[in-house]
Amino acid sequence: MIILGKNLVEKKSVRIGLTQFFGINHATAPRILQRFSIPNRALVSDLTEPQVAALTAFLSSTTTAELPPRTPVVDPLGNRELLKGEPEKPLAEQHRAAADWGRNMLVEQELKTKYNTDIQFLYRIGTYRGKRHAIHKPIKTRNHNGGTARRLNRLKRYFSTSTASVSTTPSPSPMSYAGLFSRRFRSPLF
């Protein structure tokens, strides 16, 4: 079954399948299932069309998703018949919206965009964390290893295949194999 471009394996539980989405972990997946009255051990193949539609609508835009009904969509045993529950209890809409934790939840591209804008903001205002993000170093003063190799691999090489400007002077002949090992091009590490 495919939900928002993610292929959820039919034999796996819905709880595990939801963790494929960026921003949903093993702690939030059961809360999403509880929101739509889906049992924790339900398999992806057990989902009904209304449940799939509700999950898709919620994951596509959590901020504009409708509040879940007060009665369960499916009984806890996973039967496909809709339950006839008691009528909704009177509760002010703003209190339900305030108690709804899913309104502030960001998933997939929304969360990635928020991460990137936060990092760009830190860099733009010139904080230490922003500068550390820019040079791909640990942010919160953790020790790291392999920085030398990473830095050497990022160096611009002496030889370039592109020409920046056209000159009237003749271009030099290609360097010989022996020229690569001359003192001028030798790395200080060798």
**For the chain (length 190 residues), average pLDDT per consecutive 10?**
84 91 90 86 89 87 63 52 49 52 79 91 91 83 66 59 56 54 52
The predicted structure's pLDDT at residue 105: 82
Specify the 3-state DSSP secondary structure of 147.
Answer: helix
Co-location of 55 and 137 in the same domain: no
Co-location of 12 and 44 in the same domain: yes
Co-location of 18 and 67 in the same domain: yes
Distance CA 63, CA 66 (A): 9
Q: Report DSSP state, residue 71.
A: S
Distance CA 107, CA 5 (A): 13
> Two tokens at 31?
């809360």
Closest to 11 measured CA to CA, from 38, 41, 45, 42: 45
Co-location of 26 and 40 in the same domain: yes
Co-location of 102 and 138 in the same domain: no
The predicted structure's pLDDT at residue 66: 66
The position carrying tokens 């920085």 is: 147
User: Which residue segment(s) compose the domain that 138 sits in?
Assistant: 109-147
What pTM value is reported for the model?
A: 0.55
Co-location of 25 and 103 in the same domain: yes
The predicted structure's pLDDT at residue 37: 84
The predicted structure's pLDDT at residue 82: 46
CB atoms within 10 A of CB 133: 16
H or E element that contains 2: strand 2-3
